[in-house]
Structure 1
Amino acid sequence: MNIKTYLSNQKAVVERALEQYMLVADGPFAAHFEAMRYSLFAGGKRLRPILCLAAGQAVSGETDNSENLLPIACALECIHTYSLIHDDLPAMDDDDLRRGKATNHVLYGEAGAILAGDGLLTYAFDLLSNERLGNLDAARRLKIINIIARAAGPEGMVGGQALDIASENTSYPFEVLQTIHRNKTGALITGSIQAGAIASHCSEDELRQLTAYGDNVGLAFQIIDDLLDATATTEELGKTAGSDEERGKATYPAYFGIEKTRSLARQAVDRALESLTGFDNQAEPLRALARYIYTRGN
């Protein structure tokens, strides 16, 4: 399949859904909603929502299951965007550029950016728990909410971010580096895939295989992110290049060097592809996405 066409088409689907579900900058909270919308619609690959949709297709065989999947996909993008807003804050990574545009706090101030992130995170769970959105039974909806909350929380993304900051400019064992990557980035990617699969009525065996896929794709994504930070330009990335080294962050290139890092990313992608052997052609988007993650340039 043509992965560029697939990504473009699926991104358009997600963008339309975000416009449908997102709060409009109007009324007494207009300035707050505007700050939320600024970062949510500032570009991006929409990879987590697309992985959610692709996992649903791998299970159901349906290319359009928007009633159940799109509210979940949009919630995932809200959570991801909140994490980027907070990650860019002066107290965190202190970045002024994201996706080639000014970061949220540059335009709306630190307090405005913190609240925009808070708003997106909590609104995500409004979308996930709203019984008027989708046709999910209560048990399935609750399971999806729990999976995403754990993926985004203190034993997932937030925990990984905390460990990432604590490890700056320190001598860390490889196990710490692995834990950072599997949680800071990998947890929400795996959760996106699990949520799409559960919403599409997957079996336990399918969930196990897709979880293995997500774990390895998430690891590969962050390894490649480390690699790009060390090798690409600011213009190519749309954010400040070389910031990981400058801040003394725990990264694969710092630990293994460039070529070994590239090899480890390839191995993670190969493991992800191997985990899909029980699926037929309906999982081809997931296979193509794994290969794309390895070859992406930003």
Structure 2
Amino acid sequence: MVENKTEPGPDAKIQNEQVRSMEDVLKEYLPEESSFQETVLKAMNYSVLSGGKRIRPQMMEQAYRLFGGSGKEIEPFLAAIEMIHSYSLVHDDLPAMDNDTLRRGRPTTWTVYGEAMGILAGDGLLTYAFETCTKAFAMTEHPDRVGNAIRILAQKAGISGMVGGQTVDVELTGKPVSEEQLDFIYRLKTSALLEASLMIGAVLAGAEEEQVDRMEKVASDIGLAFQIQDDILDVTSTEEELGKPIGSDERNQKTTYVSLHGLSAAKAEVKRLSERAIKTLETLPGDSTFFRTFIRKLESRSH
């Protein structure tokens, strides 16, 4: 990969500071690599600390700030959402799933530690995420909010959310997929964790139920737009830009929004969903600049 030696501008410097801060939070809550199970702990930490945009924890934190949150009880959830996202990627890369050997420009977890350890690392991250969440009970005067946040995380990560979407995705690989089925897969497989991020941030800050529902709708549209943009990049980007193999959807005989509707329609749908998310944000209190900026960048991202 060619090194970019251009001096970063103010926005990039601010973003880098945010990423470093998020990395510190993640490192604080990751398990120590010791004892007889050291190998799986190393595989877990390798998976989480292998880079990435940290979109979900950043969005969770910003949702928390949007509704006036200022405590530390958000931190265990920031770490937990990234652990769950990382576990899903570890399992996605396995030979039985997408059989990918490159993720974020580095060898995938299973290629480094073996397939069996890749499975166990994913299992470990999922369960450790919920163990981590429970630490928030000791950091707040509102334990009911923490309990509600854990419920949301479990629902969005499980059979009614991400796992449910992945199940349908696997079952329909290589088979004709309708627009309704594809929308179902995308909203559960991709949008669900983004929904959890925004909802948990709002819940922990004490947002009203209707406001939490609106944040869920914002995240749903962002997640769907994000996944369609991924489909676009899978056919228009390069391995160097994306940090993972391109053309994997076609290789794995997966129906995508691009293969179903074409490139132009896919780009138009990303635009439509983005505009709808911004309109919903306008009905909420607080400064939503972060989310509006993120949505605009989403429309033009190249990796």
Whole-Å Cα distance in 2 between the matches of residues 101 and 224 of structure 1? 22
User: Are the aligned partners of 2:74 and 2:136 in contact in 1 as well (CA < 8 Å)?
Assistant: no
The answer for the alignment partner of 2:102 in structure 1 is: 97
Listed one character per residue, the Cα deviations across residues 89-110 of structure 1 (whole Å, up to 9, x for unaligned) are 0000000000000001101001
Does 1 or 2 have the higher relative contact order (CA < 8 Å, sep 6+)?
A: 1
User: Are the aligned partners of 1:88 and 1:94 in contact in 2 as well (CA < 8 Å)?
Assistant: yes
The answer for the alignment partner of 2:34 in structure 1 is: 26
Whole-Å Cα distance in 1 between the matches of residues 113 and 137 of structure 2? 33
The answer for the alignment partner of 2:83 in structure 1 is: 78
Amino acid at match of 1:11: V
Any idea what SS the aligned residue of 1:239 has?
Answer: coil
Any idea what SS the aligned residue of 2:73 has?
Answer: helix
Q: Once the two structures are aligned, what percentage of the paired residues are identical?
A: 37
Whole-Å Cα distance in 1 between the matches of residues 213 and 173 of structure 2? 34
Structure 2 alignment gaps of length 5 or more: 1-9
Among candidates 218, 224, 229, match of residue 213 of structure 1? 218
| RMSD, aligned α-carbons | 1.7
Whole-Å Cα distance in 1 between the matches of residues 173 and 270 of structure 2? 22
The change in CA–CA distance for 1:27 and 1:212 in structure 2 (over 3 A counts) is same
Q: TM-score, normalised by structure 1?
A: 0.95
Among candidates 283, 286, 289, match of residue 278 of structure 1? 283
Whole-Å Cα distance in 2 between the matches of residues 221 and 297 of structure 1? 12
The answer for the alignment partner of 1:7 in structure 2 is: 15
Any idea what SS the aligned residue of 2:139 has?
Answer: coil
Q: CA deviation at 1:135?
A: 1.2
Any idea what SS the aligned residue of 2:302 has?
Answer: coil
Whole-Å Cα distance in 2 between the matches of residues 178 and 6 of structure 1? 35
Q: CA deviation at 1:6?
A: 4.5
Which 4+ stretches in 1 moved above 2 angstroms? 2-10, 130-134, 278-281
Structure 1 alignment gaps of length 5 or more: none
Among candidates 162, 178, 188, match of residue 193 of structure 2? 188
Q: CA deviation at 1:5?
A: 4.3
Listed one character per residue, the Cα deviations across residues 17-73 of structure 1 (whole Å, up to 9, x for unaligned) are 11111112122222111111111100000000001011111111x6xx350211111
Corresponding position: 1:40 with 2:48: yes
The change in CA–CA distance for 1:186 and 1:6 in structure 2 (over 3 A counts) is farther
Listed one character per residue, the Cα deviations across residues 103-137 of structure 1 (whole Å, up to 9, x for unaligned) are 01101001111111111100100011225653152
User: Are the aligned partners of 1:71 and 1:133 in contact in 2 as well (CA < 8 Å)?
Assistant: no
